[in-house]
């Protein structure tokens, strides 16, 4: 599958009378977006704001972050199975409003929703302090269940991002990148001497507001399967989960999966990017055994020499991670796992809930229990009423001077387990 990405650099987002992309500026008519999302009767109202890098602005509690994209040419549409029809995506031409993001906030759904600070020490932990964020602040209708509310906000954010992306369908890109994913036979013929490297992406699917959707299907209902890595750029995988903010894969993370991007960058030179497998993270042991068995079997059938495995979440999914690692290594295939750590505030606790000697090549996104003080911000988009109950918060963590003390697990993307974060070890 061959996909051409056309990046249109967005340097400003302006709320105004007309929705369009012109001269690097995304102009948004809020009434048009309001009419679109209020088609869902579960949403009582929505308000709009813009948060820019460097501003004294805090956004919380954040549900999802989505990058506006559109299919400029080729089959399918953005977010298939949710917004667009269920057509296979990942080929043709996709235009991206690079530098812009849609951020959804509102009354808290679960306790694991997070914070984006646009400046100060909190901004150093989240990649979304560097995007120009169109924030949609939702109010649900009374009596709505948490599951209904989550679904309505998830779909509303995706519809808004798709609407904004469509504004750039006929705009000339500033940068063009081509991704060509060959079949297994073609890649073996073309790169016979390069190591065959695969990617196993574990998708959060524990249920109870911990879900990920592939072509609109809840991943916990699926067996481990294969996907073209180009499909993820077109929104084939979307977030619907409320895991801890630090290692939650937002939809934006999936659209810009750095493991996929980096493997493509090395494809044909250092390695043969030979395939991508997606698997779930269910809660029952039988499901974990089944999924990890299938993962190892597919890795063997696809002839991988090495595999990168990325996780989402912590605790219960640590078992899935280690089972995948052990079983793939038992096939004679080398693995590298990407995870993060919950090692306690002093860093001395066991980092993962499960371990094995086979996991001898590990990349960490950092210790989510690290504590940081977030200073008072001049502007709050959403509400700070929940910062003591979200994961990473605690009782009386709002100080008299307006600052907040939290573990970095409360910050969106702080320890992301695909490596889409800002921390590093030197």
Catalytic residue among 242, 246, 299, 325: 242
Q: Do residues 274 and 199 touch, judged by C-beta distance below 8 A?
A: no
Q: Tell me the C-alpha distance between 410 and 58, whole Å.
A: 13
User: Which contiguous run of DSSP H or E holds residue 133?
Assistant: strand 132-140
Q: Do residues 132 and 10 touch, judged by C-beta distance below 8 A?
A: yes
- CA 86 to chain CA centroid, Å, is 21
Distance set, CA 240 to CA 63, 152, 194, 248, 268 (Å): 9, 10, 37, 10, 34
Q: Do residues 132 and 100 touch, judged by C-beta distance below 8 A?
A: yes
Q: Quick one: three-class SS letters along 180-236?
A: ECCCHHHHHHHCCCCCEEEEEEEEECCCCCCCEEECCEEHHHCCCEEECHHHHCCCC
Q: Is 242 a catalytic residue?
A: yes
Which region, left, alpha or beta, applies to residue 215 given φ > 0 means left and ψ of -120 to 50 means alpha? Answer: left
Nearest to 416 by CA among 278, 245, 263, 280: 245
E strands, 252-389, are: 272-281, 306-310, 334-341, 362-367, 371-374, 379-382
Q: Which residues are catalytic?
A: 242
């Amino acid at each position: 599958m061959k996909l051409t990405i056309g990046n249109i650099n967005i340097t400003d987002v302006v709320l105004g009378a007309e929705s369009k992309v012109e001269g690097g500026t995304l102009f948004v008519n809020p009434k048009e977006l309001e009419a679109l999302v209020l088609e869902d009767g579960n949403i009582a109202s929505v308000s709009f704001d813009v948060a820019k890098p460097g501003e004294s602005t805090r956004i919380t509690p954040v549900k999802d972050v989505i990058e506006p994209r559109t299919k400029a040419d080729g089959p399918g549409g953005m977010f298939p199975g949710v917004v667009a029809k269920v057509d296979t995506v990942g080929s043709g031409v996709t235009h991206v409003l690079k530098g812009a993001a849609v951020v959804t906030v509102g009354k808290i759904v679960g306790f694991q929703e997070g914070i984006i600070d646009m400046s100060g020490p909190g901004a150093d932990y989240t990649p979304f302090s560097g995007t120009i964020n169109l924030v949609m602040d939702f109010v649900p209708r009374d009596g709505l269940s948490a599951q209904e509310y989550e679904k309505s906000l998830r779909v509303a954010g995706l519809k808004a991002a798709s609407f904004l992306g469509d504004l750039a369908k006929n705009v000339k890109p500033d940068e063009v990148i081509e991704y060509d994913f060959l079949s297994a036979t073609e890649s073996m013929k073309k790169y016979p001497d390069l190591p065959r490297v695969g990617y196993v992406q574990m998708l959060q699917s524990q249920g109870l507001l911990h879900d990920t959707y592939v072509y609109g299907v809840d991943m916990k209902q699926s067996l481990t399967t294969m996907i073209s890595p180009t499909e993820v750029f077109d929104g084939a995988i979307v977030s619907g989960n409320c895991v801890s903010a630090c290692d939650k894969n937002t939809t934006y993370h999936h659209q810009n999966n750095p493991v996929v991007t980096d493997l493509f960058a090395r494809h044909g030179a250092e390695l043969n990017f030979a395939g991508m497998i997606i698997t779930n993270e269910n809660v029952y042991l039988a499901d974990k055994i089944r999924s990890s068995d299938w993962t190892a079997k597919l890795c063997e059938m696809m002839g991988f020499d090495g595999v990168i495995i990325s996780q989402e979440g912590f605790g219960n999914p640590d078992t899935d991670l280690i089972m995948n690692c052990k079983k793939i290594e038992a096939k004679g295939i080398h693995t590298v796992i990407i995870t993060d750590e919950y090692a306690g505030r002093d860093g001395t606790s066991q980092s993962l809930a499960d371990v094995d000697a086979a996991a001898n090549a590990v990349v960490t996104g950092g210790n989510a229990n690290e504590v940081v003080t977030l200073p008072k911000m001049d502007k709050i988009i959403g509400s700070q009423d929940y910062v003591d109950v979200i994961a990473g918060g605690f009782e009386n963590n709002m100080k008299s001077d307006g600052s907040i003390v939290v573990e970095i697990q409360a910050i969106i993307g702080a320890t992301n387990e695909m490596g889409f974060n800002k921390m590093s070890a030197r």
